[in-house]
Amino acid sequence: MIEEPVLILVATVGGTATYVADEMADKLRAKGIKPFVVQMEKAALKMFETRKLFIICASTQGTGDLPDNAQPFFDALQGERPDLTGVRFGTVALGDMTYSASFCGGGRQFDEIFAELGATRIVERLEHDRVAGGYPEEAALEWLDGWLDAAAGNRVSNA
């Protein structure tokens, strides 16, 4: 059982990532877990002092770029390089395979910097392609099962 709250950090342009994050939050609540959905423009490094369990839910804009609402938080991670040892996380990356070389670049950047700063990636990143069909929230909810297992320590991850 997961006793601590889960922070879902949202990087979005058009709101799809927010919708996906809200759906994941509903599922967590149904399991008796307390989620906080936090838009990235409100995220601060201070939160790592008290929160250790994270889901990054991020779309991509431009050519593999972060959504604007996520850039300051990303810059803070990159500039201040907090030690994220003890933080456990997973990433839901939303993208469009039409942008082949930069597919899911926004989510990938967060996934990589969290790991680089010492956080433990408990499951592999989900990369959802909007043109391949399939609803992103459905893919995310299925992915969340694996994240929950790993977070509860039920499964050793190779991620």
Ligand X SMILES: Cc1cc2nc3c(=O)[nH]c(=O)nc-3n(C[C@H](O)[C@H](O)[C@H](O)COP(=O)(O)O)c2cc1C
Report the interface residues with ligand X, using CB under 6 A. 12-17, 59-64, 67, 94-96, 99, 102-105, 130
Give the whole-angstrom CA distance, residue 136 versus residue 147: 16
CA–CA distance, 1 with 43 (Å, rounded to integer): 26
Least Å distance between CB 101 and ligand X?
8
Quick one: 55 or 84, whose CB is closer to ligand X?
55
In whole angstroms, how close is the CB of 50 to ligand X at the nearest point?
Answer: 27
- Which residue, 67 or 90, has its beta carbon nearer to ligand X? 67
- Pick between residue 25 and residue 84 the one whose CB is nearest to ligand X: 25
Do residues 110 and 116 touch, judged by C-beta distance below 8 A? no
In whole angstroms, the minimum distance from the beta carbon of 29 to ligand X comes to 21
Residue with Cβ nearer ligand X (120 or 135)? 135
By beta carbon distance, the residue nearest ligand X is 95
CB of 133 to ligand X, least distance (A): 13
Cβ distance to ligand X smaller for residue 48 or 59: 59
3-state secondary structure the chain: CCCCCEEEEEECCCCHHHHHHHHHHHHHHHCCCCEEEEEHHHCCHHHHHCCCEEEEEECCECCCECCHHHHHHHHHHHHHCCCCCCCEEEEEEEECCCCHHHCCHHHHHHHHHHHHCCCEECCCCEEEEHHHCCCHHHHHHHHHHHHHHHHCCCCCCCC
Q: Residue 83 Cβ, how far from ligand X at the closest point, in Å?
A: 29
